[in-house]
Structure formats: C-alpha cells, structure tokens
Structure 1
C-alpha cells in the first residue's frame, strides 16, 4: 500500500470498501476529478493513510451519518441524547493529512469547507 499514490489508493479503497463493508460506494470520474458523496469522500480521506491495517479499515463505514443522523438512530432505539454530544473538526488532520492531497468542491467547482471529522455521542436510557 505504501507505494500507491493517493489516487491509486482511492480506487483500491473503493474496491475493498464495497466488498468488505458491503455498502454502496458510487463515484464518477470527470477529467482528473473524482465525483462522489461527501460522506464517501471522507470515509476514504480519513483512512487513506492506514496501510498497515487497510483490510480492517475497509470493513467499517464511519461517515455515513452525521451527528444529527446518529442522534436520530439513538433516539429511535429509546435513548435520550445528552446535550454534551457534539461534532468537531480536527484541523490538524485536515492540514497535515488530507488537504495536501485533496480538496472538496461542489459539482460547479466551488470550494466546500472541510466537514467535521469527529463526533462524540452521549446517550442514556
């Protein structure tokens, strides 16, 4: 894995993620750009550097839901979501691991801010 470019890792991740996590991972190629859902992009970008445990990383989907989505799942399961729950962005990860090799844009090419990269959900019964 260490010898692959970020782009080559993306294609390997798409293959492995579909097979191992058994979730849809749709993308398109427009020139030199990849077009995909923000959640899918972040699933790849937050794990692209984990070559030593690549197979394990490709078994789990982390970015499919935001904090509001996870909170709704917890509430449907009978939990009360504590106000201490929150999401945040780890700017160090963005600055040092992700932004040097990727950028996010809308379909029109307008820049998109980096989303939250971490969530803490506190739920009680």
Structure 2
C-alpha cells in the first residue's frame, strides 16, 4: 500500500491506522471511502484509532461514510481487528465506552475507548498480537 495515497488516515505506524478527519472539508467522504477501500482490500489486518471523537463530519459526509460502513461491514470486520476511540475527558470517555459496548455487540467487532494516544497504541498492539497483556478486555 502506498502511504502517499492516504490523506485522512495516517499509516505511519501501520498496521495501526490513525484517522485524521479533523478539519476535513465538506465532501471529503469520497476520498475517505477510497482510502477505506484500499485498507480493506489489503490482506494485512489493521486497527483503526480515532484520536478525537469530537470531530464531526458534515451531514452528507457522515451519511455516506455510515452507508459505506454498513454495506461493507463484513469486509471491514475481516480486516479491522478493532476500532479504538481516544477521549481525554473522563465523563465523555465513560459515555463513549457505554456506546462502544453497544456497537461491539451490534457489529460483532471490538470497539474500545481509552484516555490517551499512548494507551490507544498499546491497546492496538495487543489486539494485533504485537504486545501485551495490558488488561484490555476484547470480549
């Protein structure tokens, strides 16, 4: 995979992929979908880390991205070992963790929430079998 073809995903620590959606312009979902297609078409499993859950996509972009995820969930599940959200605020983190539990059950895929980027990297390494155990519960 050519990392230069990715703008909204940082592959510098691949197979740990970090989302870079902050400040994305309206209409970016087409590029995001193209990048996601490249990720799921690549045979190597990956973990997706979202460093800022507070970044909101515009309505049309969010709609297109959710539609892609819904349609492609079997393909995504086959490659993406986990989705890890980073939230520094303790109260917001607890809310995201509760939402993540529901999403994990609904999509049959680990959705985790942690308090720091360092914790996200450690968790991602454990999920990928590169390190551990650090106490992350994937069930």
TM-score with structure 2 length normalisation? 0.26
Structure with the largest fraction of helix: 2
